[in-house]
Amino acid sequence: MSNTKITIPPLSMYAITAKLFTHVERSVLLEFGEEGKTLLQKGVANFGYKDAEEIAIQATVDGENHTLFNYIPKDYQDGKNYQDITIYALMAKLFAQVSKVVVDRFGEIGKDAVREGVRTFGEERGRGIAQRARSNGEENTRENYLTNYDMGRSELFTYTTEYKKDLIEQNFTGCPFGQQWADDDMHEYGILYCQIIDPAVAKGYNPKFEVEHDKYILKEGNCHFQFKLADEKAND
């Protein structure tokens, strides 16, 4: 392989948003069947069909095969609910609305179904990050995790990263997802994403990766992580 590093652009946030919806949908349908589908339809309607369609279209343009279109009628009359907000905020709002209808109906079982969707979404992304590393001849080690990450970090994220023995420590003081859930008083639903996503992405990248997430922006005001992976030859 050439020593020239391949530059792989991050996934678009539209693609990530539609991918997340698709994984949550799959989990909800497996658990709750037709009633789950009806609830998801309500969640997308509460979010707004026009806004959902714009996400669905751009995600398709960006190469994501998703199920969001299945919940958007072709003859809807809605206008946009949201003007001049970022795709990060839109992702947070869509996730919260979809999660809310499921959790409000099914309680803890509903929360578990949403978390399971976040888990499979995260692990799929983690496997993709490992592929990005492999494309440049790199192992799926601790050092190569963040350098091959699949989501762009906009200035809306404020954080520090420290590489220590056998771990990476990160502290986020600003997160557009958490901020939107806090602004919308959707803490109960947003936290379902926060609890699962980073351990799931890390596990998909390398099954030996362990993530300790002991503080949350939605609870303590900052997110604190330790990504732990001993120095050894990575998995094939």
> Rounded distance, CA 131 to CA 212, Å?
24
Mean pLDDT taken over the chain: 95
pLDDT at 33 over 80: yes
- 13-228 — its CATH code? 3.90.1520
The share of the chain scoring above pLDDT 90, in percent, equals: 91
In the chain, domain spans: 13-228
Q: What pLDDT, in 10s, does the model give residues 44-78?
A: 999 999 999 999 999 999 999 999 999 999 999 98
> Rounded distance, CA 209 to CA 85, Å?
34
> Rounded distance, CA 70 to CA 56, Å?
10
Find, among 48, 105, 95, 56, the residue nearest to 76 by Cα: 48
Task: Provide the token pair at 166.
Answer: 């056998």
pLDDT at 79 over 60: yes
DSSP-assigned letter for residue 233 = P
Distances (CA, A) of 187 to 44, 89, 97, 130, 195: 19, 14, 12, 31, 12
Task: Provide the token pair at 135.
Answer: 């494309």
